[in-house]
């Protein structure tokens, strides 16, 4: 287990992207709640589990911090220590009403539909005991503003063990106090942050003007062409899309349905490679195959659907907390029957989207949107997202076994937020298995079981390439 010197660095204030994600929750349909369900081969020892998470909450300061917003939004929201932090409010223990895994998904479904108490730290963990064969599950609910999928996996590894009979790491020494900010502190910090930001922007602007002027003098045509490309990319990034392309998955409600299934990680990688694509290309191709089958069954075949796919911007120097991705929206073809051809085309489209100039400007664009009144910002972002049909997300998990309180993790399913879409399909790998978690709007997709069958068949078609 890590010691205090291994505690990760966390920023005291939200980035512009995280602040935007926090502010737009004025519309409940745009909530950014992540729910992850972990299934263990046996019931973890409760006292050991409590001790690990208590220890982890000091190594991961974000677990003991709540969001504090400066008055009149003078600056970005800050992460402030919760002076009345109560571990047992966030860490709970229940017995399943049934011994099946469906009972766990029901608990996770309710967690996904409920918002957070915004005056407390933004996480809730629930141990579910009493599953068939003595197994247990762990339902983890975290707000997306705390971290993204990649950062979340790092947090998980700090909370759990790497062997079943791990020694007790003992109490932490030299624990640093987590600062708590009052109203005056927030104002002073906001003014300081704004001053640093203005100075930084002025320096960058001066540098950019000098570089831009020099570039225009040396290469006027290329510079103008690049400026036009950037402007067009920003316009596409911010373009409203209020109407879904799907003629049947159109409702947008707070009702949720969850589903899971597994596929082989090696086989899915091999299928992508056989077609000349990547694991992610094969994953997205399988999802699209399932969605095409679902629409055809309902007599509503479609040419295209609008997909949202997070593009990872995290580098080696990124902090564990916060988000380092941008949500890219783009149309994907639905009429390509051959899975190999579909993989190739989706790989081509994804490369084009990743190279969009606006991707590198995500935080800057978020900073501009955050200067607008919250109602306006929410309306703008809602107009961008509520026309999305589905979301796909691919998160690399642990390639080696991990344990909690002596129990081995067998399966791990992530249910990403819909954020205005009808369904989110998330792949989370775990020890050679792709654990597929499906979070859907149960009003937009009322025939839940049939939809899951369509998705599984879409994966089967792609896996046949392997």
Q: What confidence score (pLDDT) does residue 213 get?
A: 58
Residue 253 DSSP code: -
Does 72 fall in a domain?
yes
Same domain (yes/no): 457, 315: yes
| 139 assigned to some structural domain | yes
Between β-strands 403-404 and 407-415, what pairing exists: parallel, antiparallel or unpaired?
A: antiparallel
Residues 143 and 290 in one domain: no
Domain holding 124: CATH number? 3.30.559.10
Please list the pLDDT of the chain residue by residue as tens digits (466 residues). Answer: 344 344 445 677 787 778 888 888 888 998 889 999 999 999 999 999 999 899 888 888 889 999 998 877 777 788 899 999 999 999 999 999 888 999 999 999 999 999 899 999 999 999 999 999 999 999 999 998 887 666 677 777 777 888 998 888 877 777 777 888 887 877 777 676 666 666 555 565 556 555 555 655 666 666 566 666 667 766 666 677 778 999 999 999 999 999 999 999 999 999 999 999 999 999 999 999 999 999 999 999 999 999 998 876 655 555 555 555 577 888 999 999 999 999 999 999 988 888 877 666 666 667 677 777 888 888 877 777 888 999 999 988 888 899 999 999 999 999 999 989 999 999 999 999 999 999 999 999 999 999 999 999 999 999 999 9
Q: How far apart are CA 194 and CA 403, in angstroms?
A: 44
Within a domain: residue 44?
yes
- Supply the angle between the helices 220-238 and 362-370 in degrees, to the nearest 10: 60
CB 32 within 8 A of CB 21: yes
Residues 6+ away with beta carbon under 8 Å from 432: 264, 265, 266, 399
Task: Quote the CA–CA distance of 112 and 156 in Å, as a whole number.
Answer: 19
Closest CA relative to residue 294, chosen from 463, 445, 417: 445
Asked whether residue 233 is domain-assigned, the answer is no
Q: What pLDDT is stored for residue 1 in this prediction? A: 37
Say which residues have a Cβ less than 8 Å from residue 298's Cβ, sequence separation at least 6.
Answer: 248
Q: How far is CA 98 from CA 1, 145, 438, in A?
A: 35, 33, 22
Indicate which CATH number applies to the domain containing 446.
Answer: 3.30.559.30
Shared domain for 269 and 151, answered yes or no, is no
3-state helix, strand, coil in the chain (%, to 5): 45, 20, 35
Residue 323 in any domain: the answer is: yes
Do 128 and 266 fall within a single domain?
no
CA atoms within 13 A on the CB side of 142: 25
CA distance 125 to 426: 20
As for how many domains the chain has, the answer is 2
161 secondary structure, DSSP code? B
The answer to whether 260 touches 109, Cβ cutoff 8 Å, is no
Task: Give residue 144's pLDDT.
Answer: 85
Q: Looking at the structure, tell me whether residues 9 and 141 fall in a common domain.
A: yes
Using one digit for the tens of pLDDT, what is the confidence trace for 86-107? 999 999 999 998 889 999 999 9
CB burial string 413-432: b at 16+ within 10 A, e below: bbbbbbbbbbbbbbbbbbbe
State yes or no: is 411 an active-site residue: no
Nearest C-alpha neighbor of 4 from the set 61, 53, 47, 49: 61
Statement to judge: residues 125 and 261 lie in one domain: no
Residue 210 belongs to some domain of the structure: no
- Assess if residue 127 is contained within a domain: yes
pLDDT for the residue numbered 2: 41
Answer yes or no: do 302 and 445 share one domain.
yes
Which one is catalytic: 13, 144, 324, 411? 144
Could you tell me if 279 and 151 lie in one domain?
no
Instruction: Based on the fold, state whether residues 277 and 424 are members of the same structural domain.
Output: yes
Quick check: is 118 in a domain? yes
Range of the domain at 306: 256-397+420-463
- Of 186, 201, 223, the residue that ends a domain is 186
């Amino acid at each position: 287990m890590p010691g205090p010197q291994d505690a990760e660095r966390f920023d005291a204030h939200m980035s512009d992207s995280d602040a935007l994600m926090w502010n737009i929750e004025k519309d409940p349909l745009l909530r950014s709640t992540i729910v992850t369900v972990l299934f263990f081969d046996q019931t973890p020892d409760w006292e050991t589990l409590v001790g690990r998470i208590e220890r982890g909450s000091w190594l991961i300061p974000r677990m003991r911090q709540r969001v504090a917003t400066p008055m009149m939004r003078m600056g970005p929201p800050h992460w402030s220590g919760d002076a009345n932090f109560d571990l047992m409010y966030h860490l709970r223990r229940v017995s399943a009403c049934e011994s099946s895994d469906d009972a766990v998904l029901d608990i996770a479904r309710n967690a996904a539909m409920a918002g957070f108490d915004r005056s407390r730290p933004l996480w809730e963990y629930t141990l579910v005991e009493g599953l068939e064969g003595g197994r247990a599950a762990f339902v983890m609910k975290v707000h997306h503003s705390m971290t993204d999928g990649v950062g979340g996996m790092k947090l998980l590894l700090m909370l759990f063990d790497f062997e079943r009979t791990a020694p007790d790491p003992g109490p932490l020494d030299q624990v640093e106090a987590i600062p708590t900010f009052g109203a005056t502190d927030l104002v002073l910090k906001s003014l300081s942050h704004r001053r640093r930001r203005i100075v930084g922007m002025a320096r960058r602007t001066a540098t950019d003007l000098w570089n831009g002027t020099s570039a225009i003098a040396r290469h006027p045509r290329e510079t103008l062409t690049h400026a036009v490309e950037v402007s067009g990319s920003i316009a596409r990034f911010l373009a409203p899309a209020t109407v879904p392309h799907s003629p049947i998955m159109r409702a947008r409600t707070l009702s949720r349905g969850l589903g899971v299934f597994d596929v082989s990680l090696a086989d899915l990688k091999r299928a992508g490679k056989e077609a000349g694509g990547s694991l992610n290309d094969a994953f997205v191709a399988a999802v699209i195959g399932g969605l095409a089958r679902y629409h055809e069954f309902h007599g509503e075949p479609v040419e295209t659907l609008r997909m949202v796919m997070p593009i990872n911007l995290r580098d080696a120097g990124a902090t564990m907390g916060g988000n380092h991705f941008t949500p890219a929206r783009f149309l994907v073809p639905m009429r390509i029957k051959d899975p190999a051809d579909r993989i190739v085309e989706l790989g081509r489209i994804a490369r084009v989207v990743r190279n969009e100039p606006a991707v590198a400007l995500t935080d800057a664009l978020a900073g501009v949107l955050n200067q607008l009144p919250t109602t306006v910002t929410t309306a703008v972002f809602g107009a961008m997202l509520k026309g999305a049909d589905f979301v796909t997300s691919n998160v690399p998990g642990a390639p080696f076994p991990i344990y909690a309180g002596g129990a081995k993790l067998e399966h791990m399913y992530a249910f990403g937020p819909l954020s205005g879409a009808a369904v989110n399909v998330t792949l989370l790998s775990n020890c050679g298995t792709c654990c597929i978690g499906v979070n859907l709007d149960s009003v937009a997709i009322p025939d839940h079981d049939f939809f899951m069958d369509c998705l599984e068949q879409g994966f089967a078609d792609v896996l046949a390439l392997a």
